[in-house]
């Protein structure tokens, strides 16, 4: 088989049975488990406890849908939410694919929510080369992410990142929220 034959053929594949996506509105503080979902719970609890100051109307935790959650803002926008404990190029790329998959499969329709307008990755810390600091003492991850966002923005949903650090949201270029 030649390369031309490989790229010209239509792949045949069989999908396994997929579970239906589910959304659960967060209406109270979630109990904090002692496992790998701990950071996700910390983030959801932070969002819930700061709903008003963050101008969030509803918070949904999602299952079987490739992304962790959805936020309905008070200005009627719907935001896709992905939570990553450690953020680097690999994890960032994974989150972008998760957003793209959610949108391509139109899971928002199955979940009876508006089409998302934006996506947000909330994370705890940068790792690998994203954690190194530049000459201005800013972690490289901020610049790496937004440089990539600049050229990907034309084909994917606009995506931003924010760091949940010591009970505060930090967003580019390292500005701490007043909440």
Tokens (6 digits) for 177? 């929220």
Sign of the four-CA dihedral 145, 146, 147, 150: positive
What was the pLDDT predicted at 29? 94
What was the pLDDT predicted at 123? 96
CATH topology of domain 33-176: type ii restriction endonuclease, domain 2 (3.40.1560)
Q: Confirm if 61 and 82 have CB atoms less than 8 A apart.
A: no
What was the pLDDT predicted at 16? 72
What was the pLDDT predicted at 167? 87
Compute CA distances 74 → 15, 53, 57, 68, 153, whole Å: 38, 11, 5, 20, 24
User: pTM score, two decimals?
Assistant: 0.88
* pLDDT tens digit at each of 179 positions of the chain: 888 888 888 878 777 777 899 999 999 999 887 765 689 999 999 999 999 999 999 999 999 999 999 999 999 999 999 999 999 999 999 999 999 999 999 999 999 999 999 999 999 999 999 999 988 888 999 989 988 888 776 667 899 999 998 888 988 765 545 54
**Which residues have a Cβ under 8 Å from the Cβ of 7 and sit 6 or more positions away?**
none
What was the pLDDT predicted at 53? 95
Q: Distance between the two ends of the chain, CA-based, in angstroms? A: 60
């Amino acid at each position: 088989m030649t390369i031309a034959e490989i790229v010209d053929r239509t792949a045949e594949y069989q999908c396994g049975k997929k579970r239906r996506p589910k959304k659960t509105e967060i209406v109270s503080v979630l109990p904090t488990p002692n496992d790998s979902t701990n950071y996700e719970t910390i983030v959801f609890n932070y969002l819930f406890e700061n709903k008003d100051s963050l101008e969030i109307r509803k918070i949904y935790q999602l299952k079987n849908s490739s992304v962790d959650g959805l936020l309905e803002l008070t200005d009627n926008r719907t935001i896709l939410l992905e939570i990553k404990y450690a953020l680097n190029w690999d994890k960032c790329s994974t989150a972008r694919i998760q957003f793209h998959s959610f949108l391509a499969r139109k899971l928002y329709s199955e979940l009876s929510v508006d089409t998302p307008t934006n996506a947000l990755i909330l994370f705890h810390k940068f790792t690998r080369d994203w954690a190194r600091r530049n000459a201005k003492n800013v972690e490289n991850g901020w610049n790496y992410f937004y440089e990539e966002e600049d050229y990907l923005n034309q084909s994917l949903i606009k995506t931003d990142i924010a760091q949940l650090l010591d009970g505060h949201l930090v967003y580019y270029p390292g500005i701490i929220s007043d909440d």
